[in-house]
Amino acid sequence: MAGRIISGKRETSAAELAERSARAAEGLASLGLQPGDTIATLLRNDFACFEAAAAASLLGASPVPVNWHVPAEEAGHVFRDCGARAIVLHADLFAELGAALPQGVPRFIVPTPPEIQRAYTIPAERCALPASAAPWESGKPSGGARPPDPSDPSDPRLLADPAVVCTAGTTGPPKPVRFEAETPQQARAGRAVHDAVFGIRGPVTTVITGPLYYAETAAYAVHALRHGGTLVLMPRFEPEALLALIQKHQVTHLHMVPAMFRRLLRLPEDVRRRYDVSSLEVVVHTAAPCPAHVKRAMIDWWGPVLNEYYGATETGPIALCTSEEWLAHPGTVGRLLPGVRLKVVDASGEDVRRGETGEIYCRLPIGRDYTYQGDDRRRREAERDGLVTVGDIGYLGPQDYLYLCDRRPNVVVAGGVMIFPSEVEAELLRLEGVRDCAVFGIPDDDLGEALCAVVEPEFDARIAEPEVQAFLGGRLAGYKIPKVVVFSNKLPRDESGKMFKQKLKAPYWNAPRRRI
């Protein structure tokens, strides 16, 4: 494995990563950490993400990346829920969230590197190690016994799939998901699936565009590194910066989300033409259905290199389609992968006919079973006939092409009629001057729920509520037109493009005086 990782002006090789990870594992073992323990990380995109994950794997422990965007109280709950025996975090995040760390749990502080400091405009004093904290380097003592074969960068334990990962937390608090131990057969089969889904079968050059605390981003990065790839880390996603990196490094592969496509397409035409992206071979995207007009525009620009896949933390990849397949089946999130079992059921749990909408239950036969840490009841409620659901609503079309409508928690029922906010959002994004939007249900005394749209306008754009409603009125049925339209300078998305709708909905549902 001759891979390497680049971040700003810094670079490390896979062999150096393996050596540092082995020393870290030794230091963690000296603190009493054992197989089965969990090591939580609160890190921005940095070498330490890989070091901590590999060190945990060498110990037989599980790394648990935590979303550093969550509030301090919520982060504290995640640390406790996953049973963290040690915590590794960046210095600026320690300064911000240190009070939320569980007492008595060793914490190791990673200096926040210059490229991250610049990307987030973090004061320099917050990026340095606090005098009272143990630096991450202290977990890497020299000498003594080491785990078996720690200097071999091809040792699969250095890049093992984690036993515990956290859900995204977009429709509720993040929950640690604990997987059963992976068998060698499952490991081989799982990597073959990722070969197909990510389009990686040998050394590639890729930019890590999303945060490494998300399972899909981390899985992609690790898979590329396993194949000897070159990984260029972005501290945070910036559209023109990505184009510059593609041209500079002759990038061949990318892993993205639809929100990134929208930001790229907002660049002026002369900026887009300034960069050569002809090196791109495979660009996979996931996390949310991509609006049709956005995907067509990206294919027109980058060529038929976009592959879409559908899956979840709990299920792994379930469906995949190429650009050519999507153009032939517009709107699909992919064709079921070989061996996938899937059914769609209605509200009463009865199977619906092909083409009818319902809740999706599925399973990949090679997948590991799982439970939600400390919440076995939630895991039991997610299963039906041996298949599991993450709350996605959709339908199965001809030739086993899968289509998504929305997430169950997002579905709005107004006067007994079911409305999928994602459909309204896709149309609203076509309105000139709309930079981003979120549509959700709010309490309504007459209908039970009504639609509310929160719109983030483009800079200097002047849009009013009647204009939004009139635009949608010419495209959607009347009951799908938001009753309330409000405007925001910034919607709560993170770097991966995931929208935290719960933050937008909470004021309406938690404050009865705001009922409409």
Q: What pLDDT, on the 0 to 100 scale, is given for residue 459?
A: 82
Q: Name the pLDDT band for 383 (thresholds 50, 70, 90).
A: confident
Q: In the predicted model, what is the mean pLDDT of residues 491-513?
A: 77
Give yes or no for residue 300 having a pLDDT over 90: yes
The domains found in the chain, sorted by start residue, are: 14-181 (3.40.50.12780), 411-514 (3.30.300.30)
Q: In the predicted model, what is the mean pLDDT of residues 397-417?
A: 88
Distance CA(84)–CA(65), nearest Å, equals 11
Give yes or no for residue 137 having a pLDDT over 70: no
Top-confidence range, 9-13, 312-316, 404-408, 447-451:
9-13
Closest-CA residue to 161 (of 296, 65, 32): 65
Per-chain mean pLDDT for the chain: 85
Q: Residue 423 in 3-state DSSP?
A: helix
Q: What is the DSSP letter of 160?
A: P
Give yes or no for residue 285 having a pLDDT over 90: yes
Give yes or no for residue 299 having a pLDDT over 50: yes
Structure tokens at 226: 């396993």
Q: What pLDDT, on the 0 to 100 scale, is given for residue 147?
A: 42
The answer to whether 39 and 63 are in contact (CB under 8 A) is yes
Give yes or no for residue 334 having a pLDDT over 90: yes
The answer to whether 344 and 358 are in contact (CB under 8 A) is yes
Per-residue model confidence as pLDDT tens digits over 210-234: 999 888 898 899 899 888 999 999 9
CA dihedral 140, 142, 144, 146 (to 10 degrees): 50
Q: What pLDDT, on the 0 to 100 scale, is given for residue 144?
A: 37
> What are the φ and ψ backbone dihedral angles of 445, each rounded to 5 degrees?
-65, -30
Residue 475 neighbours by CB distance under 10 Å? 15
End-to-end CA distance of the chain: 60
Q: In this prediction, what percent of the chain has a pLDDT beyond 90? A: 42
Per-residue model confidence as pLDDT tens digits over 101-130: 888 888 889 999 999 999 999 999 999 888
Q: In the predicted model, what is the mean pLDDT of residues 73-87?
A: 84
Strand-by-strand arrangement of the 84-90 sheet: 62-65, 38-42, 84-90, 107-110, 134-135
Name the helix (H) or strand (E) containing 22: helix 14-30
> What are the φ and ψ backbone dihedral angles of 10, each rounded to 5 degrees?
-95, 155
Per-residue model confidence as pLDDT tens digits over 18-64: 888 888 888 888 888 888 888 989 999 999 999 998 888 888 888 88
Closest-CA residue to 311 (of 97, 165, 117, 116): 165
Q: What pLDDT, on the 0 to 100 scale, is given for residue 159?
A: 57
Q: How far apart, in Å, are the Cα atoms of 464 and each of 51, 112, 442, 491, 507?
A: 49, 42, 20, 17, 22
Bridge partners (DSSP) listed for residue 256: 285
DSSP for 256-302, please give it.
E-HHHHHHHHTS-HHHHHTS--TT--EEEE-SSPPPHHHHHHHHHHH
Structure tokens at 22: 């082995």
Q: Name the pLDDT band for 166 (thresholds 50, 70, 90).
A: low
Q: Name the pLDDT band for 255 (thresholds 50, 70, 90).
A: very high
Q: What pLDDT, on the 0 to 100 scale, is given for residue 173?
A: 60
* Strands 205-208, 253-256: pairing kind: parallel
Q: Name the pLDDT band for 474 (thresholds 50, 70, 90).
A: confident
Q: Residue 457 in 3-state DSSP?
A: strand
| Cα torsion 200, 203, 208, 212: sign | positive
Distance CA(91)–CA(120), nearest Å, equals 13
Q: In the predicted model, what is the mean pLDDT of residues 425-447?
A: 89
| Cα torsion 71, 159, 216, 355: sign | negative
Q: What pLDDT, on the 0 to 100 scale, is given for residue 98?
A: 78
